[in-house]
Amino acid sequence: MKHKTMAQFKALPPGSTIGIIGNGQLGRMTALAAARLGYACHVFGPDADSPAEQVAFRATVAAYDDKDALVEFAKSVDVVTFEFENIPHESVQLLTKHVEVRPGWNCLQISQDRLIEKTFINDCGIDTAPFKAVDSLADLEAAVEELGRPSILKTTRMGYDGKGQALIRPETDLETAYDSMAGAPSVLEGFVEFQREISVIVARSACGQWTAFEPAENVHADGILDTSSVPAHIPDGLVEEAVRIAVTLAEKMDIIGLLAVEMFHTKDDRLIVNEVAPRPHNSGHWTQDACYSDQFEQFVRAVCGLPLGSVERRNDLVMKNLIGFDVEKWPDYLNEPNAKLHLYGKASTRRGRKMGHVNLVYPLGELLKSKKA
């Protein structure tokens, strides 16, 4: 596909309205970044008094399949994007009849279904963990026979933060594991021995310009991201390879916006893609206090057709998620001179809920030095 040059592409001027599907914390931080650049945001989602609604110019509270509400929403904005991709494809098709949607439906279709996603990644010549489709107990038994134990059974759609997953251990009863998927189409992933998990976030504009943030090193707890750190402790050659993989996928998907690519750094120094997300990502929150242009500003720039900003990193950083009642430590973080607190405005706290994050800022080179020590 030929792309317009920056001179040919007409950018949305400040004062335009960005429509955001989804009204959670990613929409909130996108709306704040958009406001700095002079844009208004109209957010759309099913929850009242949402994190994004609290800071947006306008909010529509409606179900993702409410056709009348979607049409009115589309008529009120100049472009539509997503902070939450799991909406019915019929809703996206309806939106595209009335307004430009970025990224396009193909990007959402790939990322919504793990089986489609992994097949697409492999078709791009990029490795994933071995996988098999599972639609019955017999399928699961055959897949485990081929891929072995341990392995991970996941629903193909809607699972995130450890939801919709079952670890297949040597002692696991397969019927119980299959029943836990509640009949949903699933995929079994073979076990990958890895040293660490990393992620790369690519911004790509309508004219094909791209920038990539350097890899972050991620640590999960109970299936939810706990920390992201930069720099990641991987060889220089793998930094370049991680960026190459992420940019390749963004270009093959024809992304306009952001693409987050999660990868495993294996024991034998290879990179294997775990999953992708065509939107801002939790593992990119470190960019808010480490880079000249963070992931949310890059997202707005890309969607609106503006030149992309610098992704140069100014300092080392550890992003710490505040999950559930961890958020009650917020006064302590305000007393730490190197801590930058980001709270999401959620009215109620519950176990496993992302309530905010804190970015712990360090001088360039300090984290790498402490790691070697």
CATH code for position 87: 3.40.50.20
In the beta sheet, which residues pair with residue 305?
Answer: none
CATH code for position 137: 3.30.1490.20
pLDDT band at 371 (very low <50, low <70, confident <90, very high): low
Nearest Cα to Cα of residue 268 among 228, 246, 238: 238
Instruction: Choose one of 160, 190, 220: the last residue of a domain.
Output: 190
pLDDT digits (tens, 9 = 90+) for 333-369: 999 999 999 999 999 999 999 999 999 999 999 997 7
274, part of any domain: yes
Instruction: Choose one of 190, 214, 236: the last residue of a domain.
Output: 190
CA atoms within 13 A on the CB side of 257: 26
45, part of any domain: yes
Distances (CA, A) of 285 to 173, 214, 359: 38, 13, 8
pLDDT reading at 1 higher than 50 = no
Task: Count structural domains, the chain.
Answer: 3
Instruction: Choose one of 170, 190, 210: the last residue of a domain.
Output: 190
Q: How many residues does the chain have?
A: 373
359 shares a domain with 283: yes
pLDDT digits (tens, 9 = 90+) for 297-321: 999 999 999 999 999 999 999 999 9
152 shares a domain with 41: no
94 shares a domain with 61: yes
First and final C-alpha spacing in the chain: 49
pLDDT band at 2 (very low <50, low <70, confident <90, very high): very low
CA dihedral 247, 117, 174, 179 (to 10 degrees): 130
340 shares a domain with 292: yes
118, part of any domain: no
78, part of any domain: yes
Nearest Cα to Cα of residue 194 among 169, 230, 163, 218: 218
pLDDT digits (tens, 9 = 90+) for 35-45: 999 999 999 99
Token reading at 303: 């969607």
* pLDDT at res. 5: 43
292 shares a domain with 152: no
Q: Tokens 């495993």 label which residue?
A: 264
Q: Which domain holds residue 184?
A: 130-190
pLDDT band at 373 (very low <50, low <70, confident <90, very high): low
pLDDT band at 282 (very low <50, low <70, confident <90, very high): very high
4, part of any domain: no
98 shares a domain with 33: yes
* pLDDT at res. 100: 96
* pLDDT at res. 8: 47
pLDDT digits (tens, 9 = 90+) for 198-244: 999 999 998 889 999 999 999 999 889 999 999 999 999 999 999 99
pLDDT digits (tens, 9 = 90+) for 169-211: 999 999 999 999 999 999 999 999 999 999 999 999 988 899 9
Predicted model pTM: 0.94
5, part of any domain: no
pLDDT reading at 9 higher than 90 = no
pLDDT digits (tens, 9 = 90+) for 102-114: 999 999 999 999 9
pLDDT digits (tens, 9 = 90+) for 53-88: 999 999 999 999 999 999 999 999 999 999 988 889
* pLDDT at res. 3: 42
138 or 206: whose pLDDT is higher?
138
Q: How far apart are CA 230 and CA 200, in angstroms?
A: 11
327 shares a domain with 279: yes
CATH code for position 282: 3.30.470.20
- State whether the Cα torsion 23-24-27-32 is positive or negative: positive
162 shares a domain with 199: no
182 shares a domain with 303: no
Q: Determine what percent of the chain is predicted with pLDDT higher than 90.
A: 90
Collapsed DSSP state (helix, strand, coil) of residue 7: coil
